[in-house]
Structure 1
Amino acid sequence: MFNVNLPSFFLVILLIQSSCANEDDVEDSMESESHESGIGESSPRLPVTPWRPQYFYGPMLPQHSPALIARTFPAFIPFTSCTSPNKETGICAESGACTRLGGRASGACPEGRICCINVVTNTCDDADRKVVTLDNTYWLSPTMGISSSTTGCALTVKLDAKLSEQRKAVCQVRLNFVLFTIAQPDTESVCNTDAFDVVGASNKIPTICGDNGGQHMYLNVPSSATSPTDLQLSFNFGTDSNPVRAWNILISMIPCDSPNLAPLDCLQYFTGRSGTVSSFNWRDVAGTDTRQLANQDYSICFKTIPGSRRTLCLAPCTVTSASLAFSISVSRTAGAVASPAGSSQLRPINCEKDYLVIPGGFNVGNPPSVNTMAFDRFCGENLNANAEVTALTSVCTTATPFRLLYRTSDDETEDKTAGVVDRGNLGFCLTFRNQ
């Protein structure tokens, strides 16, 4: 038998019941607070401990290294062109990066960036050979001019997808000749005093000289992601008592996936519906000096405009001087008898040395075919599909893709054996309409 003190036993039972009642009150109080704070009944309760506050932590921002930030948020946005208020072409960049690389701000870009205009000027000394790695860079001739003792001036365009300022494969480079004036060719149309050359392109780039402001060239290169390329642009100067030498060349890089790529083997590419196309060194100036350049062999291409009838028509430019808009070697017979002045070719077979090819070319209105119709090769002093014609007209073609071929010989001698010369040729200037 247990000896139980009943008064003490009943006292313990009362204390236990009181404790349980207090715990129920606490749970009821917490449940009431959860409903008032908007937390649903199914929401898990936060643990209640003395060392952890009762609130949710917000997500922490990822911490990146400076190198990763530079790769993710580049100072320059490669191949994002912009135009300054004074119509210069630049690249969107952060202000500090533009200044570090010697550029200048001119205009604004999205995301707080500026339009950075990049200019390279060298002194034409061998020790001052500049290297261009940034898209849309202008190459200027020395501001103090070029001394008579200077023999040349060169610049390197480095293409490499691993460079942070490129970061993308480049397949073409376009040269825009904003300003281009060096010595004229000699009477044989050869650039033997001054010359501009390009080395490193996979397509054929002719040597040019004279006045070429407003002209352009497309230089093809292997993809810079697999085969980095160094393009060499160079001026070579001969002896001349008082030459005028000045240039401003915009160097633009075109990525391999760009819709602006020119067709392969096209030295020039026109994307507009209409415009003007001319041979290098053609100018609307009076005079009988030879301006046609020797050793020209390149294609001129035109973009096919969606929705057009796919007809390309060309006509001689309007001139204000005594110059000719079309002057590509006066065609001669076997007996060295020239066609009448200001007329088209005698026959296509007489356009042997210098000529412009317009595939399937025909006079506007599509006249009946005649035996002397050119159809492809054009020369003489007037553009016309019919032979020995002085009348002006438009020559059209429906052969697509639209492409012209311009070819000249290595001198202006028509028949070296007979000593017949053909000098004073100017080249051509044509308006085109892509319709």
Structure 2
Amino acid sequence: MITEAPRFPFNPYYTLMPVRYPTAVSTRTNPAFVPFASCTTPNKEMGICAESGACIRSGGRASGTCDLGRVCCVNVVSNTCDDEDRQVVTLDNTYWLSPTTGLSSTTSSCSLTVKLDATLPEQGKAVCQVRLTFVLFTIAQPNAESVCNTDTFDVAGASNKIPTICGDNEGQHMYLNVPSSDTSPTDLQLSFNFGTNSNSIRAWNILISMIPCDSVNLAPLDCLQYFTARTGTVRSFNWRDVAGTRTRQLANQDYSICFKTMPGFTKTLCLTPCTVTSTQMPFSISVASTIAVAGRVPVPAVPTPNQSQLAPLNCNNDYLVIPGGYNSAKPPSVDNMAYDRYCGERLNALPGNVASTTVCTTATPFRLLFRTNGDETTTTPTPDSRTNGNRGFCLTFRNQ
């Protein structure tokens, strides 16, 4: 049950005039949309260029202008989340908004279909990827083992692996790979599933952007996230700058994060833990634990908080892979300075270090791998600390 009105980051239009997006059949009568001609409104919303009349007939809202007298048409779909209200999206740059009246206490799920078909006049060419931008995303938190067992968000129909997520993910994004829609039309299913949690605020606003197969904006294959700017911030799902030791890292994550190689630079990617305003940890991935070494007397697995990983094999529960990572103050040729797996509560290429630092890599194409297992405290032989609770990571990056 929703306990307060959802927050809408754009303007009051969403709360005053919820619209219904037409199905693909009715859209065929309005061919005046310019396929994949994206535009940005004065309020920084994404739209698609269209004739003014076609935008109005489709239920869209004109805001800003395009070439040839066309308008920037903003399209929003908001369903009531019941079995009889099945919405289908066929237009690029469409926002999926949670019900403006809130969710019923008996609502168990809410879904949307994204139809990709090059024969549709509003698409007109092959689509190979869909990007989901989470403008707003708030559902129930995971349990003490980091498992999304109350509320979940899932994607079906993509060819790459899409993890189940929950919690707070405003500002995050996902790239979904699909077969070329001119040879294999695809229906993507986006689904929220809700459990029993009367204290949870459930609200979302997801921008659905279609990427043609010939676009320069395609992400590398199998990259769930793709960053094209020279600088920015990358976070694990559900990381937030909030106080407390409550577990916020999500279990069962296994995906790649990619960065565009910028022309004219030395091809070095550097990552630094974010500056936080609370007591939150910007890097907290599976508290480092001692491990038994072959040929030596077995050592009990003892958690060692507030340190970086003790050795590469120490990161066997949850970890972030930075290929060939090294501390920025040291050249990568220095002995014992190149690591791939990072865990613990400090980002540092030196084992057992108590300070975080900037870690760089020259391994191109730039790609990180984030993996978490299915629990936080019961994994053997090296369970994580029960008291700390893993938080995930927030890193600023610079392609230099």
TM-score, scaled relative to structure 2: 0.88
Match of 1:98, SS state, is: helix
Give the aligned partner of residue 337 of structure 1.
Answer: 302
Which of 204, 213, 219 is the aligned partner of 2:161? 204
* 1:100-136 per-position Cα deviation (integer Å, ceiling 9, x unaligned): 1110111111101100000000000011010000000
Which of 217, 235, 255 is the aligned partner of 1:278? 235
Change beyond 3 A, Cα 1:414–1:385: farther
Which of 260, 268, 284 is the aligned partner of 2:217? 260
Give the aligned partner of residue 11 of structure 2.
Answer: none
1:381 aligns with 2:338: no
Q: Greater shift after overlay, 254-263 or 342-351?
A: 342-351
Change beyond 3 A, Cα 1:126–1:304: same
Q: Distance in 1 between matches of 2:309 and 2:210?
A: 40
8 Å Cα contact 1:347/1:374 also seen in 2: no
Give the aligned partner of residue 203 of structure 2.
Answer: 246
Q: Distance in 1 between matches of 2:209 and 2:38?
A: 9
The structure number with the bigger radius of gyration is 1
Q: Distance in 1 between matches of 2:31 and 2:318?
A: 50
Q: How big is the shift at 1:366?
A: 2.3
Give the aligned partner of residue 427 of structure 1.
Answer: 392
Taking the TM superposition and a 5 Å limit, the aligned residue runs for 1:179-190 are 179-190=136-147
**Structural RMSD (CA):** 1.7
8 Å Cα contact 1:286/1:323 also seen in 2: yes
* 1:59-84 per-position Cα deviation (integer Å, ceiling 9, x unaligned): xxxxxxxxxxx99x940000001111
8 Å Cα contact 2:301/2:381 also seen in 1: no
Which of 299, 304, 328 is the aligned partner of 1:364? 328
Change beyond 3 A, Cα 1:350–1:383: same
Give the aligned partner of residue 221 of structure 1.
Answer: 178
Taking the TM superposition and a 5 Å limit, the aligned residue runs for 1:113-152 are 113-152=70-109
Structure 1 residue runs of 4+, over 6 Å off?
A: 417-420
Taking the TM superposition and a 5 Å limit, the aligned residue runs for 1:150-165 are 150-165=107-122
Which of 84, 87, 90 is the aligned partner of 2:41? 84
* 1:128-163 per-position Cα deviation (integer Å, ceiling 9, x unaligned): 010000000000000011122100100000000000
Gaps of 5+ in 2: 1-26, 292-299
Q: Which has the higher helix share?
A: 1
8 Å Cα contact 2:303/2:384 also seen in 1: no
Give the aligned partner of residue 12 of structure 2.
Answer: none
Q: Distance in 2 between matches of 1:236 and 1:208?
A: 11
Q: How big is the shift at 1:415?
A: 3.5
Match of 1:238, SS state, is: coil
8 Å Cα contact 1:374/1:387 also seen in 2: no
Taking the TM superposition and a 5 Å limit, the aligned residue runs for 1:12-31 are none
Give the aligned partner of residue 293 of structure 1.
Answer: 250
Q: Distance in 2 between matches of 1:418 and 1:405?
A: 21
TM-score, scaled relative to structure 1: 0.81
Gaps of 5+ in 1: 1-69
Q: How big is the shift at 1:421?
A: 5.2
Q: How big is the shift at 1:391?
A: 2.1
8 Å Cα contact 2:96/2:207 also seen in 1: yes
Change beyond 3 A, Cα 1:181–1:326: same
Paired residue type of 1:353: N
Change beyond 3 A, Cα 1:292–1:419: closer
Paired residue type of 1:408: T
Q: How big is the shift at 1:287?
A: 1.1
Aligned-residue sequence identity (percent) comes to 74
* 1:38-77 per-position Cα deviation (integer Å, ceiling 9, x unaligned): xxxxxxxxxxxxxxxxxxxxxxxxxxxxxxxx99x94000
Q: How big is the shift at 1:420?
A: 6.4
Q: Distance in 2 between matches of 1:224 and 1:144?
A: 35
Q: Distance in 2 between matches of 1:275 and 1:162?
A: 37
8 Å Cα contact 2:286/2:384 also seen in 1: no
